[in-house]
Amino acid sequence: LPKDLSNQRLILQRYRNLETPANRVQATYLWIDGTGENIRLKDRVLDKVPSSVEDLPDWQYDGSSTYQAHGENSDTTLKPRAIYRDPFKPGKNDVIVLCDTYSADGKPTASNKRAAFQAAIDLISDQEPWFGIEQEYTLLDVDGRPFGWPENGFPAPQGPYYCGVGADRVYARDLVEAHVVACLYAGIDFAGTNAEVMPAQWEFQIGPAGIKACDDLWVSRYILQRIAEEYGVVVTFDPKPMEGQWNGAGAHTNFSTKEMRADGGIKAIEEAIEKLSKRHERHIKAYDPKEGKDNERRLVGRLETSSIDKFSWGVANRAVSVRVPRGVATAGKGYLEDRRPSSNCDPYAVCNAIVRTCLLNDDGAS
């Protein structure tokens, strides 16, 4: 930790230890801005401890400063959708509030993908869809170079870093482990973490759950970025942060339904894959915030990726669009893994596309 940042932490701690009124709660409202990939936040103080999102008021902000409105009519509304314990505030009742966003006319903003996904989930809740999301990310120093890489030149080629151990192979493990603990404290369904193939690249897994998996992913991204601030490290979700023979970063999305998880579920899995194969272009557009432009740099048919131009699938194959794990094929039931989503995807958009294609037979025309 740089000395100046360390001193700032010590100064802040003096004030964190001050006693505050027991009935006053700090609430950090989070939302997705107009880029579709960045988080914004602001804090407010409440006069009572909320027991659910229904106890939390709507709030307005200046949407013209977040790429979501024009200045002459910029009031944009935050509607609370999920509530979490706050690992950064001193009060035991302080909370993080995940919101979606609405324009002055009461309609969802263009970057509010949650509303459409909620509508889809409401139609097929009896099928009990589960989503497990594998979030990859890369740590950078403040100059934009991967954290721990030599100032001149490059580290040794990929090979020893994936799930590795040792100071010459793994960088910033303490930051990663702090993230795990903070997410568990917050109430996130955090499933695991590991070092990835490229040095300074990591992955964590969220789920399985329905829309909560997407809520959890957004809040876990926020928590990760906040912790990285304290270390003086930058988190990037860019799907291809380094050119050349270095792996990109994705958000592989594991999907199943009650039928897929039951005995003989492999048939339902194969039927879902067939539907996905017919909607490949539509899904590519939904799988990164620039409608495929970001994934063009990552999905190149090598470095554990498929080609962006062609749908493919296989058992235990990581160079395809959709993978069926070997254990699933052997058991004849389980889930599929869609390997196309980029690391900076909006999980609401990804899961909405999967549900509408696989369960609602939506051809995308609407």
Asked whether the predicted pLDDT for residue 366 surpasses 60, the reply is no
Helix, coil or strand: residue 274: helix
Contact 253, 348 (CB under 8 A): no
Contact 76, 102 (CB under 8 A): yes
CATH of domain 121-358: 3.30.590.10
What mean pLDDT is predicted for residues 281-294?
A: 97
**Degrees to nearest 5, angle at CA 204 with 237 and 183:** 100
What mean pLDDT is predicted for residues 96-105?
A: 98
pLDDT given for residue 365 in this prediction: 53
Asked whether the predicted pLDDT for residue 318 surpasses 60, the reply is yes
Asked whether the predicted pLDDT for residue 121 surpasses 70, the reply is yes
Digit-coded pLDDT (tens) for 2-51: 556 667 778 888 888 888 888 899 999 999 999 999 999 999 999 999 99
The residue among 187 and 366 whose pLDDT is bigger is 187
Asked whether the predicted pLDDT for residue 206 surpasses 80, the reply is yes
Q: Which helix (H) or strand (E) holds 337?
A: strand 336-338
- pTM equals 0.96
350 confidence band (pLDDT: 50, 70, 90): very high
Which pair of structure tokens corresponds to residue 243? 């050119």
* All structural domains of the chain with their residue ranges: 22-111, 121-358
Which pair of structure tokens corresponds to residue 342? 């980029």
pLDDT given for residue 186 in this prediction: 98
71 confidence band (pLDDT: 50, 70, 90): confident
pLDDT given for residue 268 in this prediction: 99
The whole-chain average pLDDT of the chain stands at: 95
Asked whether the predicted pLDDT for residue 251 surpasses 90, the reply is yes
What mean pLDDT is predicted for residues 160-183?
A: 97
Length of the chain counted residue by residue: 366
pLDDT given for residue 2 in this prediction: 57
According to the 3-state scheme, what is the secondary structure of 94-135?
CEEEEEEEECCCCCECCCCCHHHHHHHHHHCHHHCCEEEEEE
Query: Percent of the chain, pLDDT > 70?
Result: 97
What mean pLDDT is predicted for residues 165-179?
A: 96
The residue among 303 and 111 whose pLDDT is bigger is 111
Which pair of structure tokens corresponds to residue 148? 């721990």
Digit-coded pLDDT (tens) for 321-333: 999 999 999 999 9
pLDDT given for residue 4 in this prediction: 67
pLDDT given for residue 282 in this prediction: 97
CATH of domain 22-111: 3.10.20.70
What mean pLDDT is predicted for residues 194-209?
A: 97
Asked whether the predicted pLDDT for residue 189 surpasses 60, the reply is yes
pLDDT given for residue 1 in this prediction: 55
Asked whether the predicted pLDDT for residue 364 surpasses 70, the reply is no
Digit-coded pLDDT (tens) for 72-100: 889 999 999 999 999 999 888 999 999 99
**End-to-end CA separation in angstroms for the chain:** 51
pLDDT given for residue 319 in this prediction: 95
Asked whether the predicted pLDDT for residue 244 surpasses 80, the reply is yes
Q: Which helix (H) or strand (E) holds 4?
A: helix 3-16
Residue 97 to residue 56: CA distance in whole angstroms = 9
Evaluate the CA torsion angle 359, 360, 361, 363 in order and state its sign: negative
pLDDT given for residue 10 in this prediction: 81
